[in-house]
């Protein structure tokens, strides 16, 4: 099979377009072709400006430090996790080239970067700007942005019982959003391999509550979204494909569940919805809640919201969940609130593969439905959800993706 990720295509009611070549080279994809995206969490590089200014971290800090120092918290708990590739610095283009090639070789054709942009300046941008975009093979894979516009809390690590401290507020002003929109178009949306849906750059918003707060009203937020669409059209793009990360239960401290997600989707004019991780919708009643139990509960959620939301819904497949590396190792572990919370167990490569197959089959069963899914996550090592190889499972999770999608 020729490399299908090197051409531009789009998705609308079963017609897929994937942006990964010259924008004018458009071909209609087959009905069983899928965008297989993996979220990418970019906190595994040194030299970030905010970390460098933080006296508790410094210029050589990355989240690998929490991975290295993690400890088992209960019987049968596998920690620390050890990356088979070592503790690589993702801002190195050669490192990112290795990740890109591994992804496309195993059926992942898009990275959705968790993208942090605040009122004053960006955060964790080096993985994308210096690593991914400068990798020699960046054109082999699509990329898109999920604006992680939540408050950045002091939880790396978090000491149980301490007051939650906001380091960087997620809310931005209307004036700042105009600048952000210009930056998005100029820096990212016009890249040849930026993911486009119906010719429109895919832009996802994590926290709709924080987004609205910045403008004061739903009406003002919608007007800002429409202005960005107009700017994109003026730049020669088809507009903006606005995607909402919808969640039914908060995870991070300070998160609030929207009162009426279907209503906000309609009022704000989102083009699609998705999920970031299963546990946004599913409780974990056991210290190690069985993976298949969580999967089945998420599928039930998917079945419900694809009707309620009224827009295409791109499902999520979660590899696992274990946020204990973000807990202070000097404090006894207990289950209460993030990151001191229950985990997902029995998330074997075989069970992960079955979840991928179920998701693929359910998408393809609807000939007029969406042709995209996302995976949590390429590299959420401190939340126990990653495709990158470790020293126990090796490439098994990536091989599962390959077996289902290649």
Cβ atoms within 10 Å of 110's Cβ, excluding its own: 27
Q: How far apart are CA 360 and CA 405, in angstroms?
A: 8
Q: Which residues contact 314 (CB under 8 A, 6 or more apart)?
A: 243, 272, 273, 274, 370, 372, 373, 374
What tens-digit pLDDT sequence spans the chain (406 residues)? 333 323 223 333 333 333 333 322 223 334 789 999 999 999 999 999 999 999 999 999 999 999 999 999 999 999 999 999 999 999 999 999 999 999 999 999 999 999 999 999 999 999 999 999 999 999 999 999 999 999 999 999 999 999 999 999 999 999 999 999 999 999 999 999 999 999 999 999 999 999 999 999 999 999 999 999 999 999 999 999 999 999 988 888 888 888 899 999 999 999 999 999 999 999 999 999 999 999 999 999 999 999 999 999 999 999 999 999 999 999 999 999 999 999 999 999 999 999 999 999 999 999 999 999 999 999 999 999 999 999 999 999 999 999 999 8
Q: Which residues contact 86 (CB under 8 A, 6 or more apart)?
A: none
Q: Which of 352, 363, 369, 344 is nearest to 403 (CA)?
A: 352
66-111 residue pLDDT tens: 999 999 999 999 999 999 999 999 999 999 999 999 999 999 999 9
Q: How far apart are CA 256 and CA 246, in angstroms?
A: 12
**CATH classification code of 30-405:** 3.20.20.80
CB 222 within 8 A of CB 267: yes
What are the residue ranges of helices labelled H in 154-217? Answer: 174-183, 208-215
Q: What does the chain come to in residues?
A: 406
Q: State the sign of the Cα–Cα–Cα–Cα dihedral 49, 124, 379, 5.
A: negative
Q: Which residues contact 226 (CB under 8 A, 6 or more apart)?
A: 269
The CA–CA distances, whole Å, from 46 to 60, 94, 323 equal 5, 15, 21
pLDDT of residue 284: 97
Strands 200-205 and 196-197: antiparallel
Helix, strand, or coil here: 167? strand
pLDDT of residue 12: 34
Element (H, E) at 288: strand 288-290
Give, rounded to a whole angstrom, the gap between the first and last alpha carbons of the chain.
9
Where do the DSSP E strands lie in 129-217? Answer: 142-147, 152-153, 166-168, 196-197, 200-205
The CA–CA distances, whole Å, from 14 to 42, 84, 325, 398 equal 31, 38, 40, 26
pLDDT of residue 256: 81
Q: How many CA atoms lie within 13 A of 361 on its CB side?
A: 7
Q: Which of 276, 252, 246 is nearest to 341 (CA)?
A: 252
């Amino acid at each position: 099979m020729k490399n299908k990720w090197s051409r531009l295509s789009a998705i609308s009611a079963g017609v897929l377009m994937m942006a990964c070549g010259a924008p004018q080279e458009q071909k209609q994809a087959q009905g069983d072709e899928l965008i297989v995206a993996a979220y990418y969490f970019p906190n595994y590089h040194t030299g970030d400006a905010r970390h460098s200014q933080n006296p508790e971290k410094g210029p050589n800090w990355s989240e690998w430090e929490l991975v290295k120092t993690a400890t088992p918290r209960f019987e049968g708990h596998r920690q620390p996790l050890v990356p088979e590739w070592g503790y690589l610095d993702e801002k190195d283009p050669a490192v990112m080239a290795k990740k890109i090639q591994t992804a496309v070789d195993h059926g992942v054709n898009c990275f959705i970067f968790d993208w942090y942009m605040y009122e004053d300046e960006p955060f964790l941008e080096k993985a994308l700007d210096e690593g991914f975009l400068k990798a020699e093979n960046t054109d082999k894979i699509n990329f898109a942005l999920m604006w992680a516009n939540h408050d950045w809390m002091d939880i790396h690590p978090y000491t149980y019982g301490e007051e939650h401290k906001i380091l960087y507020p997620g809310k931005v002003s209307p004036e700042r959003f105009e600048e952000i929109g210009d930056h998005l178009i100029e820096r990212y949306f016009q890249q040849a391999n930026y993911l486009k849906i119906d010719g429109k750059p895919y832009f996802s918003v994590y926290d709709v509550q924080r987004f609205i707060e910045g403008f004061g009203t739903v009406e003002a937020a919608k007007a800002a979204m429409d202005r960005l669409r107009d700017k994109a059209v003026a730049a020669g793009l088809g507009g903006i494909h606005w995607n909402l990360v919808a969640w039914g239960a908060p995870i991070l401290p300070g998160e609030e569940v929207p009162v009426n997600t279907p209503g906000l989707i309609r009022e704000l004019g989102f083009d699609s919805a998705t999920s970031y991780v299963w546990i946004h919708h599913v409780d974990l009643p056991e210290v190690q809640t069985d993976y298949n139990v969580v999967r089945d509960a998420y599928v039930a959620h998917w079945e419900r919201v694809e009707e309620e939301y009224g827009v295409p819904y791109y499902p999520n497949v979660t590899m696992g969940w274990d946020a204990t590396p973000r807990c202070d190792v000097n404090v006894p572990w207990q289950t209460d609130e993030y990151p001191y919370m229950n985990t997902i167990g029995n998330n074997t490569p075989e069970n992960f593969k079955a979840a991928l197959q179920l998701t693929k089959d359910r998408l393809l069963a609807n000939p007029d439905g969406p042709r995209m899914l996302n995976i949590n996550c390429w590299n959420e090592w401190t939340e126990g959800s990653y495709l990158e190889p470790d020293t126990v499972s090796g490439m098994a999770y990536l091989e599962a993706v390959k077996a289902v999608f290649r």
